[in-house]
Amino acid sequence: MQGEPLTVLWRPNLEDAHYAVRMGWWGDRQRRIRTFILVFVLPIALFSYIVSEIAHVDASTALALGVVAGAASGAICLWAFGAWLARQIVSKQRRTGDLHRILVTDEGVERILAARSMRYPWDSVARIEETPRMFILNGRTGPLTCIEKSGIDSDADLRRLRDFLRARKPGRYYAR
């Protein structure tokens, strides 16, 4: 970053993990459609079929009961599975290194953990998306890594990082 790299010291936490899980489910148009179909539409169809076969009720009653049961199971699944998954993610991240050092340089982004490090040169990053909790670095086929804002110490460092990323790669950024 014009001489001095920006270092982000990030500790894995549940808030960032919950946000990452939600982004995985609802982050873009394709994910919203996929999640809606898997979590709501398929269970509604399954429950409607089961009710119509077991209770031998008419199709409209079976569909109504299927919608209630499928929507309830989808909501419970998102809530319970999301909480469990976020805890699993944080647990794994802490096992690989409680403190993650993220270096942003002119060459790329490097995430350094206790046992290993991962480098992402700028050539591999196609675009960047800024969200309320992180900068998501996307490759040509999907997300590569992220820079969590909870590890950034000051507003000045956040502005410096945002300006550097904006100058480096296209994407969606918040206003200056």
Q: What integer pLDDT is reported at residue 119 of this predicted model?
A: 95
Tell me how crowded residue 12 is: count the other CB atoms within 10 A of its CB: 20
Q: Which fold has domain 6-12+98-172?
A: PH-domain like (2.30.29)
Contact 164, 156 (CB under 8 A): no
Which candidate, 173, 86, 168, places its Cα nearest to that of 136? 173
Query: Which residue blocks in the chain are alpha helix, DSSP H?
Result: 14-26, 29-36, 42-55, 59-96, 155-168
Taking only the tens place, the pLDDT of each residue in 130-168 is 999 999 999 998 889 999 999 998 999 999 999 999 999
Locate the domains of the chain by residue range: 6-12+98-172, 16-96
Which candidate, 24, 39, 19, places its Cα nearest to that of 148? 19
DSSP-derived letter for residue 149 is G
Taking only the tens place, the pLDDT of each residue in 133-142 is 999 999 998 8
Can you tell me the mean pLDDT for 30-57? Answer: 90
Residue 1 pLDDT > 60, yes or no? no
Taking only the tens place, the pLDDT of each residue in 114-123 is 778 899 999 9
143-148 and 171-172: which strand pairing?
A: unpaired
